[in-house]
Amino acid sequence: MKRHTLKTLGSLLVAAGLCSPALSQVDPAVAKLKPKDFPSQSIEYTVVYPAGGGMDVTARLLAKSVEKVSGDKIVVNNRTGGGGMVGHTFLATQAKPDGSTVGVVANLLWGDALLRAQGKWQLSDLETIGYLNSDALIWLVQGDGPLKGKSLKEIMQIARDKPGTLRVATVPGTMWEYLVEQLEANTGAKFLRVPFQGGGAGINAMAGGNVDLAQGFYSEFRGLFDAGKVAPVAVASTERLSYLKDVPTFNEQLGATEYTWQVVRFAVVPKGTPADRKAYLGAAIRSAMKDPELVAEYAKAGVFFDGKLMNSGDIAKDVNEYAERERAFYMKTGRIK
């Protein structure tokens, strides 16, 4: 009876405009952790890439659900420039460590961004508070081309027997290029790398017959895949993807463990953010990630959810393990010391 009365009262307050719909859905577990007098203003979710991209969409969908479970006002701000460097530098060196700023970032933070930071900031300047979703790099061939039906092993054999004859689309200075470099170094294969500004451009070029292999994320080629114009060959993730169950991983096909190239999206706060505020912000994100509407919207975008990170008891530690694995490649190839 009491629960019903409270629910009815909440509905009346919403109807009267005395509280917001989001406030009526506040998660009690989150509310219990709310620090006194916090937040006193809107919380900024900083995105270091332009509006409309995967990071921006991820942040805006998250903000909507966090508002629902916390009752707080979340503002998404795109601090762009320098391929993410402007936003990353802001989060690490300029944002106030008071809980008013949360960075929605990806593993590009510990790779390309850190390589270009030139010592101005370190990974330790940011503290992870929540995991969001992942996107795995996928290799593709033409749906009706000469490589159709061939396994990754067969393709690698061609690249060994006829070095430089298979054209693969890459994005210089990113995981697209690193994966090719890693495969060549480990197998003796040799590809002709054709540079593009992004994965989508390379996929379209392959669909048109201008390259033999392309790389990208599921959301970038889903339409072409459904039309039979492209065919996935291998997934650079730790396990097969639920929406591409018949496509084996690179590691499966090559008997390895190191071919893991995926975007891991997560939330951070500046180092020194008070523990109680950090705990509250993290709890709000974890609660939002249980929102069926948010999960469904993320799934529509073609992402997947890493089981280890979703169920992590120490998200900072577990995300750092992924960072160290990727950084090992940079050290091995002399990019960092």
Q: Please give the residue that has the higher pLDDT: either 283 or 241.
A: 283
- The mean pLDDT value for 172-182 works out to 89
Which of residues 254, 271, 304 is at a domain's end? 254
* Least confidently predicted of 49-58, 139-148, 164-173, 275-284: 49-58
* Same domain flag for 230 and 322: no
Residue 230 resides in a domain? yes
* Same domain flag for 169 and 119: no
Q: Answer whether residue 305 shows pLDDT above 60.
A: yes
Q: Which two tokens stand for residue 119?
A: 């010592």
Q: Please give the residue that has the higher pLDDT: either 222 or 251.
A: 251
pLDDT band at 102 (very low <50, low <70, confident <90, very high): very high
pLDDT band at 112 (very low <50, low <70, confident <90, very high): low
* Same domain flag for 167 and 238: yes
Structural domain for 315, as ranges: 25-134+262-332
- The mean pLDDT value for 179-198 works out to 93
- pLDDT single digits (tens) 306-337: 888 888 888 888 888 887 777 788 888 877 66
Q: What is the dihedral of CA 236, 234, 145, 149, to 10 degrees?
A: 180
CA–CA gap between residue 248 and residue 237 (Å, rounded): 9
Percent of the chain topping pLDDT 90: 58
Which of residues 254, 270, 300 is at a domain's end? 254
Structure confidence at residue 248 (pLDDT): 97
The helix or strand, by DSSP H or E, that contains position 215, with its residue range, turns out to be: strand 214-216
pLDDT band at 230 (very low <50, low <70, confident <90, very high): very high
Terminal Cα-to-Cα distance of the chain (whole angstroms): 65
* Same domain flag for 156 and 198: yes
How many structural domains does the chain have?
A: 2
* Same domain flag for 47 and 114: yes
Q: Are 290 and 207 in contact (CB under 8 A)?
A: no
Structure confidence at residue 316 (pLDDT): 86
* Same domain flag for 109 and 60: yes
* Least confidently predicted of 178-182, 194-198, 291-295: 194-198
Q: Which two tokens stand for residue 190?
A: 């040799």
- pLDDT single digits (tens) 58-94: 999 999 999 999 999 999 999 988 777 888 899 999 9
CA–CA gap between residue 246 and residue 67 (Å, rounded): 38
* Same domain flag for 234 and 206: yes
Closest CA to 87 of 268, 217, 249, 247: 268
Structure confidence at residue 100 (pLDDT): 97
- pLDDT single digits (tens) 213-223: 999 888 888 88
Structure confidence at residue 17 (pLDDT): 39
Amino acid letter, 179 = L
Which of residues 254, 284, 313 is at a domain's end? 254
Residue 8 resides in a domain? no
* Least confidently predicted of 115-119, 136-140, 245-249, 256-260: 115-119
3-state secondary structure of 46: strand
Structure confidence at residue 220 (pLDDT): 84
Residue 4 resides in a domain? no
